[in-house]
Amino acid sequence: MLTPHPTLLIGPSDWQPERMPREEFARRIDAMWERHPQAERAIVFGSSRHHAELAYFTNLVPKLEPVVALLSRTGQHRLLVGGGVNMIGAARPLTWIENVLPLKDVAAAIGGGGAARCSLVVGTAYMSVAFRRTVMEALGEGTCVQDATAQVWSRMRRKSRYELDAIDAAVKATGVARKAMREALMSGGSVTDVILAGERAASAAGAQDVRTLFSLDGGRTLRPFVVPVKQRVDPLMAYLAIRRFNYWAECFPLFTTRPESAQLHEKAWQAMGSALSAIKAGVATHEIGQLIAAAMQPYQAHPMIAHAFAQRTGLALDEPSCADIGASFEEGEVYSLRIGAMDEARGSMICSRMFIVQAAGVVAFDEGPA
């Protein structure tokens, strides 16, 4: 789900080798070379907003200025960090790559890469036009350049043990946040009190980033924080996304005392149970979509999740179109399954649950609605 992007990413992002060992990154890079045997190097771009591919290879999430990784099949990997030489010190703890240089030298660094037979570029759509031109000119006219962004995303679908552990930690943090939100509500808190209680609890639980949206109209629409909202609403639906160790988890907490809202919620969770029981590796995604639609009759689907009833989840909160749900669920993929409904009398709601696809079924990351 798209949320307002902060002007500066604030939160613990240092590379933790015990969480994501160097060998895991080496394996990912080796897989890229294997997929592109003619490639000698890869140029991977990331900004503070779009950096999933960069983080996948380097662990680095740019907090402020863009970063480029120059990955070499045979030589040393290098990282070029925006913001000048003074930003290098802040970048070093974020990555396992030791050779960190200023980004202003990108043309020389690319040009100095030797007569590479073929270069891969990843994330060029996120570069500004001027920066992209600089990179392409440095690569040289007539040289072999392949955009490997979609292939990288394809590799990113299947999650490793380390990635699953990171996602599990993020899901657990959503549980902590939801509990704090419930407590804030029970003690008479306003909409903002509840949302900020969740954010604070997530941060205290080690969140690297927390994003929230909330509804003031019974779950029909979601909106970001602009100024504090002192009122209380029932039902209060929110969207909560928490990042830990670079990986995101999401949920849609709903707090209500209204029986009609609770009934709708219960129906959605029943549909969730049916859908999760039906999903396993190889199952067509459209079949699950139809199953959910049938289970939620006669209610109208919620428009906010109309574009994706199942959203792949990992290094990006808002994944690009090349990461859209495919024709079938595949083993090792992690999804957030979202079920929503709109009804004039009963209100509107969305619920979600995160799970990993396995050969014989799914394993959910949490225990479902509390």
Main-chain phi, psi angles of 88, to 5 degrees: -65, -40
Strands across the sheet containing 100-102: 100-102, 78-81, 67-72, 41-46, 118-122, 144-147
Q: Which stretch binds another protein (CB under 8 A): 46-54, 154-162, 269-277, 286-294?
A: 46-54
Give the count of beta carbons closer than 10 Å to the beta carbon of residue 19: 17
- Which range touches another protein (CB under 8 A), out of 11-19, 173-181, 293-301, 329-337? 11-19
Please tell me whether residue 327 binds another protein under the rule CB under 8 A: no
User: Could you identify the residue written with the tokens 């139809």?
Assistant: 290
User: What is the x/- site pattern for another protein, positions 124-143, by CB under 8 A?
Assistant: xxxxxxx-x-----------
| Residue number, 31 or 322, with CB nearest to another protein | 322
Closest C-alpha among 152, 111, 112, 103 to residue 131: 103
Q: Which stretch binds another protein (CB under 8 A): 121-129, 138-146, 248-256, 271-279?
A: 121-129
Rule CB under 8 A: choose which of 32, 55, 60, 94 binds another protein: 94
Stretch that binds another protein, among 3-11, 276-284, 339-347, 352-360 (CB under 8 A): 3-11
Contacts with another protein: how many residues (CB under 8 A)? Answer: 51
Distance in angstroms (rounded) separating the CA atoms of residues 311 and 167: 14
The answer to whether the peptide bond before residue 235 is cis (omega within 30 degrees of 0) is: yes
Distances (CA, A) of 342 to 1, 138, 261, 264, 316: 18, 53, 10, 9, 28
363 binds another protein (CB under 8 A): no
Applying CB under 8 A, among 10, 107, 294, 322 the residue interacting with another protein is: 10
Q: Are 240 and 249 contacting, i.e. CB atoms less than 8 angstroms apart?
A: no
CB of 128 to another protein, least distance (A): 7
Residues of this chain that interact with another protein (CB under 8 A) are 2-14, 47-50, 63-64, 84-87, 89-90, 93-94, 124-130, 132, 192, 196, 199-200, 203, 221-228, 303-304, 307
